[in-house]
Structure 1
Amino acid sequence: MVQSKKQRFGFLAFCIVPTLMLFLIFTVYPLVSGLYYSFFDWSGSSANREFIGFANYSTLLSDNIFPRAVLHDYFLVVTKVFGIMILATFFAVALTQLKIKEAPFYRVIFFFPNIMSVVVIGILWTFIYNPNLGIINSGLSFLGLEQLTRPWLGDPDTALASLVLPSVWAGIGLFMLMLMGGILNIPKSFYEAATVDGAGEWQQFWKVTVPLVWPQIKNSILYIVITTLNGSFIIVQVMTEGGPDNATQVMGSYLYQQAFVRNNFGYGATIGVAILIISLFTVIVLQKFLKREKIQY
């Protein structure tokens, strides 16, 4: 009996310890280090670090660019959540409820952008938005709408909005598959009962489909929010580098510029701490807002 307990403990330790070590090294240690360095004036490459207390946080509160970066991040969060979820839900319902023969083919087509690197997607859409050779301006000129052509990524009025389309395009496939999995698990008898009760397709969608796939919808929204607040930096850096005139600056790109371009690593770490706090606050609020009673079936 004692030997059995030791074997069980050894097996659990063998399974848990490596994962715990990776978590501590790649998650906990960077978080603690970022918090530590935020109290220093440090270039990131010098051996000299000057402890300055909360001076970096005071600078952050008076920074004119950081609040704009936060608003830009939230703009991308809202537009991506609505854009991706509406289109992903539409395609998921269409491919599961309309009995389309080519559904497997469309699944692959819609999911294809998800296997592409964000860098590749950014470069691709940079060419699409190119004011001289891009498809958008060329198409507008072909239709005789030259007055609508513009340098989409070079105009402060359109640069941020131009980042939404590639972000939505790249995210539809994954969340479509997540919702399709939930829809396909709904018993057909539920829809049959709703039909007998006189519910139309639109009513069935709101009264049957949405409540029963709400866990997938909730997880999708939270995933989009988290990845946007923490990962929109990549596509911004590839397509606009935060310009023009900080019109597309987000928290991640501003952190990168401060820490690795301007060699102000301490201030960059402070921005990282702010990103963590803002992300946690946003997720906690969303968790409460999206909370619903779980339906068993």
Structure 2
Amino acid sequence: MVQSKKERYGFLAFCLLPTFILFLIFTIYPLFSGMYYSFFEMSGSSSNKEFVGLANYVKLLNDEIFPHTIWHDYFLVITKVIGIMILATFFAVALTQLRIKEAPFYRIVFFFPNIMSIVVIGILWMFIFNPDLGLINSGLEALGLEDWTKAWLGDPDTALSALVLPSVWAGIGLFMLMLMGGILTIPKSFYEAATVDGANGWQQFWKVTVPLVWPQIKNSILYIVITTLNGSFIIVQVMTEGGPDNSTQVMGSYLYQQAFQRNNFGYGATIGVAILILSLITVLLLQKFMKREKIQY
């Protein structure tokens, strides 16, 4: 039986309708609700609200803490992108290009943190950074470097940097597998031709591997940036709660503090709008900067 074009499109629309409804309910509606509430002063615990116009945005521009949260978020973005992409690329190339018999085992080991809850990861690394019983200070003492030990999460100079380690550790496995998938699709004849032309391993990596897996690299970087700007507050809340002295406060944790701890829901919604705008601008700039012509092979 031959279906008309109208029937085919109708069937596709019927299949996509449930997903579209869920998207409207859980994405579009909260998005516009947050924008709406940002123009009000409200506690969030009652239906009473007072329209204040742009007062919350003026308050945000004059907020002394918020600029620091932006810097902290982008510090985590930059360090996570560098750390995760370097390590994920290294392991992806090693497990695909080198003849390692235990490669399947290592893939499982590196991916294991991705199946763990970020809350569990945060608690685990809190024990690792514990100044008295933690693995880091214990290791330094065993090496005779007692002067280097410190309260890593309790020192404003080291607390933010300490959050990078669990974030990078938790993200390597997923992006390693993404890059491995791209590398394994590259025909071996490309590397053989590069070898015949006299290219060494490093040159083959830059001239063959990187250009051909650039879509995976680009998507990985964008994913890290988006999830960090919108989700770094989880690891912050678990490990430091924004302290000490707001040295690890990020935009998301500051939103949580204002909206749910200080019952300033309208101002929290304003911070959420700022996160949305900064995330959108960052992603658009990155897409433009990383845009390359797609290579066909």
Q: What TM-score, normalized to structure 1?
A: 0.98
Letter in 1 for 2:218: K
Between the aligned partners of 1:31 and 1:196, the Cα distance in structure 2 is: 55
User: How far is the alpha carbon of 1:9 from its aligned partner?
Assistant: 4.5
Between the aligned partners of 1:291 and 1:14, the Cα distance in structure 2 is: 35
* Alignment match, 1:282: 282
Matches within 5 A, 1:215-226: 215-226=215-226
Between the aligned partners of 1:35 and 1:114, the Cα distance in structure 2 is: 32
Letter in 2 for 1:34: G
**Corresponding position: 1:32 with 2:28:** no
Letter in 2 for 1:152: W
* Alignment match, 2:99: 99
User: How far is the alpha carbon of 1:14 from its aligned partner?
Assistant: 1.9
Residue by residue over 1:221-247, the C-alpha shift from the partner in whole angstroms, topping out at 9 and shown as x without a partner, is 000000000000100000000000000
Between the aligned partners of 1:86 and 1:3, the Cα distance in structure 2 is: 51
Between the aligned partners of 1:82 and 1:142, the Cα distance in structure 2 is: 30
Q: Secondary structure at the match of 1:110?
A: helix
* Alignment match, 1:136: 136
Matches within 5 A, 1:154-193: 154-193=154-193
Q: Secondary structure at the match of 1:41?
A: strand
Between the aligned partners of 1:17 and 1:218, the Cα distance in structure 2 is: 30
Between the aligned partners of 2:91 and 2:16, the Cα distance in structure 1 is: 39
Between the aligned partners of 1:78 and 1:26, the Cα distance in structure 2 is: 29
Change (3 A) 1:3 1:210: closer
Between the aligned partners of 1:218 and 1:115, the Cα distance in structure 2 is: 23
Percent identity over the alignment is 83
* Alignment match, 2:244: 244
**Corresponding position: 1:296 with 2:296:** yes
Which consecutive residues of structure 2, in runs of 5 or more, have no partner in the other structure?
none
Between the aligned partners of 1:6 and 1:187, the Cα distance in structure 2 is: 41
Between the aligned partners of 1:267 and 1:115, the Cα distance in structure 2 is: 34
Between the aligned partners of 1:54 and 1:40, the Cα distance in structure 2 is: 9
User: How far is the alpha carbon of 1:47 from its aligned partner?
Assistant: 2.1
User: How far is the alpha carbon of 1:276 from its aligned partner?
Assistant: 0.1
**Corresponding position: 1:110 with 2:123:** no
Q: Secondary structure at the match of 2:17?
A: helix
User: How far is the alpha carbon of 1:7 from its aligned partner?
Assistant: 4.3
Change (3 A) 1:46 1:211: same
User: How far is the alpha carbon of 1:127 from its aligned partner?
Assistant: 0.4
Change (3 A) 1:16 1:193: same
Letter in 1 for 2:55: A
Letter in 2 for 1:218: K
Q: Secondary structure at the match of 2:169?
A: helix
Letter in 2 for 1:41: E
Between the aligned partners of 2:7 and 2:115, the Cα distance in structure 1 is: 41
User: How far is the alpha carbon of 1:8 from its aligned partner?
Assistant: 3.0
Runs of 4+ aligned residues of structure 1 deviating over 2 Å after TM superposition are: 1-10
User: How far is the alpha carbon of 1:13 from its aligned partner?
Assistant: 2.8
* Alignment match, 1:20: 20
Between the aligned partners of 2:246 and 2:88, the Cα distance in structure 1 is: 31
Q: Secondary structure at the match of 1:163?
A: helix
Letter in 2 for 1:223: Y
* Alignment match, 1:228: 228
Between the aligned partners of 2:48 and 2:144, the Cα distance in structure 1 is: 61
Which consecutive residues of structure 1, in runs of 5 or more, have no partner in the other structure?
none
Between the aligned partners of 1:9 and 1:198, the Cα distance in structure 2 is: 53
Q: Which moved more, 1:134-143 or 1:221-230?
A: 134-143
Q: In the comparison of the two structures, how many residue pairs are matched?
A: 297
Please provide the CA RMSD for this pair. Answer: 1.3
Letter in 1 for 2:140: L
* Alignment match, 1:200: 200
Change (3 A) 1:15 1:240: same
